[in-house]
């Protein structure tokens, strides 16, 4: 089976670095989405892919074994190097073996198969919201906009061992396989992805159009896509594109004839969503006094402006903090806070609203709740209650004997 490849990664419109990586080293293809701070994320995703690739070259174990070993490698590095402690990554890999594709997968990057105009997701997201959908707590539509849709229940490199999903697909001539990170699937719908894959003549055109669409939709995350086309002209499978692990530090591939959307970045950048820190800075600004007639009056006006500014700032901050909610830790327990998880000049910008009986230590020991000590921000009180409820269920489940 002949394989043609397209691959692209892009920083997106908001992030300051690209923590995604991809591997195009036929017959092995993969994407990885790193997390754990800027440097940690970059190291985790590229180290995981390098490890899988090296083990594959040495013919050590199955693809799933290689991914499991990559978990261990990333975990060990995270333990020994403080600058990347706590890092982790998703990994979705495809190994082409004749007309058989072996898949190995951890996290919320995805593999899709386009066959006969139909797009099918081959992987299952290891996310909190996916589990909530499976358990009927929320609808798939609610999951798409859920504030915690990026909380992973499984990731590579965060624990000594990890459960790797495995699967095989038999491919046919005309099939198109997509590997992508959540920076794509979080920004555009599966309908758009399917249509774009159908409309694109070759795999490189497909990945570039997908990246452009995600950027135009806001590009709030790094975006990575690898597309494989399967044909039967008798050639050996291999990488048509240059073989390489694409590390986040290098530039995205420059290609000729990019669609018009390729330069959409500056336009979309103007409308990038503000982060919490910038939102805090949006307080009323003083209006400078017009034409002060003499110095005394000028000082008076400035003093007045300063006082009103301080008052406005305090009122604004108060109003702002009253509408902010997060779930964090108080006295070793899981707790709901109003405000933001920070302090300024010794003043804490939050207060405990509810301290539950749930042990924070036990919650933090689960991958999904690792961020608890830093505070899991939510949209409102209902969101906070939902998170606490989920932690309660997870702890109860962990207590049951494993099946």
Number of residues that bind Mn ion (CB under 5 A): 5
Residue nearer to Mn ion on the CB measure, 12 or 328: 12
Residues 6+ apart with CB under 8 A from 107: 33, 89, 90, 91, 92, 125, 126, 152, 154, 155, 156
Q: How far apart are CA 76 and CA 39, in angstroms?
A: 16
Residue 182 contacts Mn ion per CB under 5 A: yes
Residue nearer to Mn ion on the CB measure, 210 or 335: 210
Q: Which residues sit opposite 21 in a β-bridge?
A: 32
> For Mn ion, what does the binding mask look like between residues 135 and 174, x meaning CB under 5 A?
----------------------------------------
| Residue environment code for 41-64, b if the CB has 16+ CB neighbours within 10 A, otherwise e | bbbbbbbbbbbbbebbeeeeeebb
Give me the least distance between CB of 41 and Mn ion, in Å please. Answer: 9
Residue nearer to Mn ion on the CB measure, 84 or 171: 84
Among 12, 107, 183, 339, binds Mn ion (CB under 5 A): 183
Among 221, 240, 363, 377, binds Mn ion (CB under 5 A): 221
Residue nearer to Mn ion on the CB measure, 221 or 229: 221
Segment near Mn ion (CB under 5 A), from 137-145, 160-168, 176-184, 334-342? 176-184
Q: How far apart are CA 183 and CA 221, in angstroms?
A: 5
Give me the least distance between CB of 124 and Mn ion, in Å please. Answer: 17
Cα 68 → chain centroid: 21
Q: Please, are residues 283 and 53 in contact by the beta-carbon 8 Å criterion? A: no
Give me the least distance between CB of 237 and Mn ion, in Å please. Answer: 29
Give me the least distance between CB of 3 and Mn ion, in Å please. Answer: 26
Q: How far apart are CA 61 and CA 250, in angstroms?
A: 30
Site for Mn ion in 6-35 (CB under 5 A): 33
Residue 41 contacts Mn ion per CB under 5 A: no
DSSP letter for each residue of 209-235: HHHHHHHHTT--S-EEEEEEEEE-SSP
**End-to-end C-alpha distance for the chain, whole angstroms:** 41
Q: How far apart are CA 95 and CA 102, in angstroms?
A: 5
Q: Long-range pairs for 47-51 at CB < 8 Å and ≥24 separation?
A: 47/73, 47/74, 47/77, 48/21, 48/73, 48/74, 48/89, 48/91, 48/156, 48/157, 49/21, 49/22, 49/23, 49/91, 49/245, 50/245
Give me the least distance between CB of 88 and Mn ion, in Å please. Answer: 12
Residue nearer to Mn ion on the CB measure, 157 or 183: 183
Give me the least distance between CB of 205 and Mn ion, in Å please. Answer: 23
Give me the least distance between CB of 345 and Mn ion, in Å please. Answer: 34
Residue 108 contacts Mn ion per CB under 5 A: no
Residue nearer to Mn ion on the CB measure, 10 or 182: 182
Give me the least distance between CB of 187 and Mn ion, in Å please. Answer: 10
Residue nearer to Mn ion on the CB measure, 44 or 169: 44
Which residues lie near Mn ion (CB under 5 A)?
33, 181-183, 221
């Amino acid at each position: 089976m002949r394989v043609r490849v397209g691959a692209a990664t892009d920083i997106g419109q908001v992030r300051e670095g690209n923590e995604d990586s991809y591997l195009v080293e036929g017959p092995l293809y993969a994407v990885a989405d790193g997390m754990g701070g800027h440097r940690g994320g970059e190291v985790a995703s590229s180290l995981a892919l390098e490890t899988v690739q090296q083990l594959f070259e040495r013919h050590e174990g199955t693809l799933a074994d290689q991914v499991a070993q990559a978990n261990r490698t990333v975990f060990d590095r995270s333990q020994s190097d403080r600058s990347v402690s706590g890092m982790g990554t998703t990994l979705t890999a495809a190994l082409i073996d004749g007309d058989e594709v072996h898949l190995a997968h951890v996290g919320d990057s995805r593999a899709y198969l386009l066959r006969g105009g139909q797009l099918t997701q081959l992987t299952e997201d290891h996310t909190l919201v996916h589990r909530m959908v499976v358990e009927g707590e929320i609808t798939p539509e609610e999951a798409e906009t859920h504030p915690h849709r990026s909380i992973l229940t499984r990731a590579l490199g965060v624990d000594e061992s990890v459960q790797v999903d495995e699967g095989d697909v038999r491919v046919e001539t005309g099939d198109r396989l997509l590997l992508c990170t959540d920076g794509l699937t979080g920004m555009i719908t599966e309908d758009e992805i399917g249509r774009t894959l159908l409309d694109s003549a070759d795999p490189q055109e497909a990945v570039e159009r997908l990246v452009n669409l995600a950027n135009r939709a806001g590009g709030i995350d790094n975006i990575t896509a690898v597309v494989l086309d399967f044909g039967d002209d008798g050639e050996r499978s291999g990488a048509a594109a240059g073989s390489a692990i694409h590390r986040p530090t290098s530039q995205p591939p420059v290609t000729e004839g990019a669609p018009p959307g390729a330069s959409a970045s500056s336009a979309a950048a103007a409308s990038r969503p503000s982060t919490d820190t910038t939102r805090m800075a949006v307080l009323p600004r003083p209006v400078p006094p017009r034409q002060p007639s003499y110095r005394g009056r000028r000082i008076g006006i400035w003093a007045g402006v300063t006082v009103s500014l301080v008052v406005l700032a305090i009122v604004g901050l108060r109003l702002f903090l009253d509408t902010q909610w997060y779930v964090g830790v108080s006295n070793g327990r899981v707790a709901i806070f109003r405000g933001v998880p920070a302090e300024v000049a010794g003043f804490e910008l939050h207060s405990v609203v509810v301290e539950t009986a749930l042990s924070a230590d036990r919650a933090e020991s689960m991958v999904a709740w690792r961020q608890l000590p830093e505070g899991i921000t939510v949209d409102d009180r209902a969101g906070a209650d939902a998170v606490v409820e989920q932690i309660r269920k997870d702890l109860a489940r962990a207590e049951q004997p494993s099946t």
